[in-house]
Structure 1
Amino acid sequence: MSASFERDENGLCIIRCDPPVNGSDSFVFRPDVIVSWKALLGLASTREAIAAIMQGREDVSRYDPKTGRGVWTGAFEALEAALADSATGVSMLADDGEVLNDPLTAARNKAREGMNLPVMSNETDANLIAALAVDDSDEEPSSGIDVTVTKDIEGLDDFLNDESSQTVLDECEERFYGSLMPRPQNQQN
């Protein structure tokens, strides 16, 4: 496969593939998309998010035109709830360290299924969180997305290792999570 990655003057990330990957010869997205996919699907890395973008195919039959609910709705709601719970100190770990049924992982898995991507167990999600917290491994952690599709993309490693790219992704992440964080209720006079 021959593939290239570039970020254009408008900030768009563009991947061109020959032969096509998953039926597409190009993928065009903003850095915000990488951040939202990572958060909503519980992905371990920017590389894993890009691989998911390239491999995911939305099951449009899951869209309900009456309610507007689609593949991503439950993941957004669960992430908002998890952020609200974390703001109040609720933990998904039992005293003995066992991972409790995590509604966020369940919602992420529904979104993954709806995007035709592999699902993950609560244990995998917990191990991933622990691995990301330690961050002393030379090996990239994985939530189960096949990243081999990204290994030979010319220019992708440069993007992933570039400090200014990381700054852009950090700013996107801050905006994304900020938009989901609970807000104090307006005080009535």
Structure 2
Amino acid sequence: MSSTFEMDENGLCIIRCDPPVDGSDSFVFQPEVIASWKALLGLASTREAIAAIMQGREDTSRYDPKTGRGVWTGAFEALESALADSATGVSMLAADGTVLDDPLTAARNKTREGMSLPVMSNEIDARMRAALAADASGVEASSGIDTACTHDVEGLDAFLSDESSQAMLDECEERFYEALMPRQSQQN
């Protein structure tokens, strides 16, 4: 018995789990989900995103039917705000490389809590950003998501190391961020 990963003819990522992970025997999602989870939860890698998808369980009691706000709303709003700030040159990094009191990390943590995933401190966020910035670190950066559930998934390592898969995931990430970037006013 083993777990497997595949991309089907429709471009869906399918993970069949044997034994089940947290009671689920399969996960089916589009590659765009990986990009959105990485951005909205502050994840360090595609592997971490897939592990979060496999382990995350949404607290539906946090959904407000009157406003439509749910677990993910704050993370979307904070990321949009951070992107708008970065477009105007505001940085959340101090001169020594530490993350300042970051509203994006706080919003991500509320979403992580609402998805039953571990939260991260500003210190962990700063260490993760530093590790991602170091080209030859050789160590996979982590935001605190346990990736053990992904290590024995047959086919996942091949997907993660495949150049065409990486190009496709990079395109998904670019489209995700592009959709959130502030747009110039069209007024004349």
For 2:116, the equivalent position in structure 1 comes to: 116
For 2:133, the equivalent position in structure 1 comes to: 133
For 2:25, the equivalent position in structure 1 comes to: 25
TM-score (ref. length: structure 1): 0.96
3-state SS of paired residue (1:76): helix
Q: Offset of 1:97 from its aligned partner? A: 4.7
Pairs within 5 Å for 1:1-189:
2-95=2-95, 97-188=97-188
Q: How far apart, CA to CA, are the structure 2 residues paired with 1:143 and 1:40?
A: 12
Q: What do residues 77-121 of structure 1 show as CA deviations (whole Å, max 9, x unaligned)?
A: 000000000011111234455432100000000000000000000
Q: Offset of 1:19 from its aligned partner? A: 1.7
Q: How far apart, CA to CA, are the structure 2 residues paired with 1:41 and 1:161?
A: 22
Q: How far apart, CA to CA, are the structure 1 residues paired with 2:174 and 2:183?
A: 15
Q: How far apart, CA to CA, are the structure 2 residues paired with 1:8 and 1:60?
A: 29
3-state SS of paired residue (1:92): coil
3-state SS of paired residue (2:120): coil
Return structure 1 stretches of 4+ with deviation > 6 angstroms: none
Query: Where do 5+ consecutive residues of structure 2 fail to align?
Result: none
Q: What do residues 2-53 of structure 1 show as CA deviations (whole Å, max 9, x unaligned)?
A: 2000000110000001121011100000100000000000000000000000
Query: Where do 5+ consecutive residues of structure 1 fail to align?
Result: none
3-state SS of paired residue (2:172): helix
Q: How far apart, CA to CA, are the structure 1 residues paired with 2:152 and 2:187?
A: 54
3-state SS of paired residue (2:93): coil
Question: How much is the aligned-residue C-alpha RMSD, in angstroms?
Answer: 1.1
Q: How far apart, CA to CA, are the structure 2 residues paired with 1:96 and 1:24?
A: 43
TM-score (ref. length: structure 2): 0.97
Q: How far apart, CA to CA, are the structure 2 residues paired with 1:38 and 1:83?
A: 15
Q: How far apart, CA to CA, are the structure 1 residues paired with 2:97 and 2:174?
A: 29
Tell me the amino acid that sits aligned with residue 32 of structure 2: D
Tell me the amino acid that sits aligned with residue 157 of structure 2: D
3-state SS of paired residue (2:144): coil
Q: How far apart, CA to CA, are the structure 2 residues paired with 1:25 and 1:93?
A: 41
Q: Which of 73-82 and 91-100 deviates more?
A: 91-100
Tell me the amino acid that sits aligned with residue 75 of structure 1: A
